[in-house]
Structure 1
Amino acid sequence: MTLTEIRYLVALDQERHFGRAAEACHVSQPTLSIAVKKLEQSLGTALFERTKKGARPTPLGQQIAAKARDILARTAELDDLVSAGRDQLSGPLAVGTIASVGPYLLPQFIPLLQRLATRMPLSLQESAAGVLAHKLSTGELDVIITTLPFSAPDVVTQPLFDEPMMALLPAGHALAAHRHLDPEKLDPEEVLLMAEGDPWRDQVLNAFPQLGTHRADRPLVQGTTLEMLRHMVASGLGITIMPLAAAQAHFYSQDILVTRPFVDPVPVRTLALSWRASFPRHQAVDVLRQAIQASSAAYWGYATGKEAGGSLLVENKNW
């Protein structure tokens, strides 16, 4: 059994589809299919049930896939140890972000990071927090940028800063006449939210519980991305709430859309870095943190003493 076959096995177990697994491994579908079949023949047993819709692991296949993930994680640790022995700021750094962070934070800090670590190219991925946590555990990602609360086994989590939430309004809206908004003045029927199950929707409703009462969500005007919400507000369909970085992204002129902060206590979300506890390139994580904080307008809100579920939480310190 080779490492390549192990990667194919893990990808197929995760995707449950030969085409998607091949795409994730950057190979053709026949290449992956032949390799998995060869592996099954060498083991003398079937690891996957083939169906018209894809592939489903057998009970033994599930057990082997779990062990294969451990092997990939250990292999990634060996690669990291070798890299760390040479130069912690030399070699690629695989970074993952959630969708409500990446498009707005990455353009802010990447130019500075490239100046601080000229020999450390970035590999970037955007996905849901659960997918990022899985890829972190298997070594596919080195560091992820997410929001608290976040918990994963054998992972260190470091808060970056508190990012204020802001209202995004049509320029002619009555609330635009106020310099600061009272959350109690928001009409739940007017506030546009992300669709059910989206983490940003949950964060907004946690910060503004009154928006969750007596809502009559209209499926046709629920957002699937923050940018969709922005365009919906510009179209006059309502108002919305965004994190600071997204709210300040200027895609419309101020005679179309305006932003307004909330009165104290300002509702916030906390951004955080997470990485495997065994990841040896501490300097790479540290320079990433420095670049993010130095480039963010919300860094003023950084606070300590937060909790991150079952994972280890650390404050900013020199390594």
Structure 2
Amino acid sequence: MDIKQLKFLIALDQTRHFGRAAALCHITQPTLSMRLRNLEDELNLVLVKRGQRFEGFTEAGERILAWARTLLAAHDGLQAEAASCRGQLVGCLRLGMVPLASFNPTHLIKPLTQRYPELRFQLSSLSSEQIIDGLSRNQLDLGLCYLDQVNTSYFEVIELASTRMGLLHDTRFFTFQERELNWETLGRLPLGLLTTGMHFRQSIDLCFRSRGLDPHPLLESESTFQLVQAVSAGICCAIMPLANGLEDLSEHLRVLPIAEAAVHAPLGLVLRRTEPRSALAEQCFAEARSIFGGSVKNTDA
């Protein structure tokens, strides 16, 4: 068994297609299939369901896949540790992020890329619960999530800000005279919202219910991108965080603050306290503390 076989297995999980997995790994499809069969022979297990095309993983394959991710993360951590001993910072920073928050991740990524040009980034949109689980399993290096789920006995935290809400709209289709909107006005608008159950949506629903309002959104989606598409098409407006960079996507997009509208849990950058954690994660966390330590202010202030 070698590390490449594990990479091939993970690539197959990412693409769900033999040909695309081979292309991702820069090898031919027959080579990919042969190396995966060699892995199965070595483990004496069938990992992949095969037919005319990829049909998924067996139960054993799913279990081996989880170990493959852990081993590959440890391998990458070892490489990053060796680079750190040489005074370098290389590798891929795995960052999990809640989909909507009053924080633009480019404010972290840009200074890191300027200081460490060999650094790469893998961004995952996840719930706070999934981020904490991913950090615990060493599947993520850092997490950007709401801190009400975080036990600081097990995680180091850089508190960033509370998330205030605003109404994202396209000025070609909607205009408002007010500088700050109230919830009663929002209840009369065609709204696009994140799906029920997501942390940001729960805060929105609480704000409506506390005022005796029961709006029926025109559109619901788990994808921020789809909500922005709908807003740009004039289908609806969307309740979004302030100061997260959405207005920069188009000259027609604006975000108006909403009165008394905030996610009560503060947002923070989170690093697991326990080993193993990579030198890459530790250094990027230290850099984030330097970048944001004296500059980030509570948006409720």
C-alpha distance in 1, partners of 2:100/2:63?
35
What per-residue deviation string (whole Å, max 9, x for no partner) do you get for residues 214-260 of structure 1? 55444xx545644543454454433221111346623444xx55432
The structural deviation recorded for 1:5 is 1.3
- Within 5 Å, which residues of 2 pair with 1:248-259? 249-253=247-251, 257-259=253-255
Secondary structure of 1:263's aligned partner: strand
Tell me what 1:36 maps to. Answer: 36
Any conservation in 2 of the 1:69–1:138 contact (CA below 8 Å)?
A: no
C-alpha distance in 1, partners of 2:117/2:138?
17
Q: TM-score, normalised by structure 1?
A: 0.68
Q: 1:132 to 1:123 in 2, by over 3 A?
A: farther
Tell me what 1:78 maps to. Answer: 78
- Within 5 Å, which residues of 2 pair with 1:40-51? 40-51=40-51
Say if 2:129 is the partner of 1:129. no
The one-letter code matched in structure 1 to 2:247 is A
Structure having the higher strand fraction is: 2
Q: 1:7 to 1:260 in 2, by over 3 A?
A: same
Secondary structure of 2:243's aligned partner: helix
C-alpha distance in 2, partners of 1:294/1:28?
51
The one-letter code matched in structure 1 to 2:120 is S
Q: How many pairs were matched up?
A: 292
C-alpha distance in 2, partners of 1:248/1:192?
15
Any conservation in 1 of the 2:9–2:65 contact (CA below 8 Å)?
A: yes
The structural deviation recorded for 1:66 is 3.6
After TM superposition, the structure 1 stretch with the greater mean CA deviation from structure 2, 200-209 or 158-167, is 200-209
Same amino acid, percent of matched pairs? 25
Any conservation in 1 of the 2:246–2:253 contact (CA below 8 Å)?
A: no
Q: 1:262 to 1:238 in 2, by over 3 A?
A: same
RMSD after superposition: 4.3
What per-residue deviation string (whole Å, max 9, x for no partner) do you get for residues 131-184 of structure 1? 8778767766533434455569x9735233223211224559998222222224
Secondary structure of 1:177's aligned partner: coil
The one-letter code matched in structure 2 to 1:192 is G
Secondary structure of 1:273's aligned partner: strand
Secondary structure of 2:180's aligned partner: coil
The structural deviation recorded for 1:35 is 0.5
C-alpha distance in 2, partners of 1:267/1:63?
37
Tell me what 2:95 maps to. Answer: 96
Gaps of 5+ in 1: 304-319
Q: TM-score, normalised by structure 2?
A: 0.72
C-alpha distance in 1, partners of 2:226/2:211?
19
The one-letter code matched in structure 1 to 2:144 is I
Gaps of 5+ in 2: none
Say if 2:156 is the partner of 1:160. no
Tell me what 1:113 maps to. Answer: 112
After TM superposition, the structure 1 stretch with the greater mean CA deviation from structure 2, 77-86 or 170-179, is 170-179
The structural deviation recorded for 1:36 is 0.5
Tell me what 2:237 maps to. Answer: 239
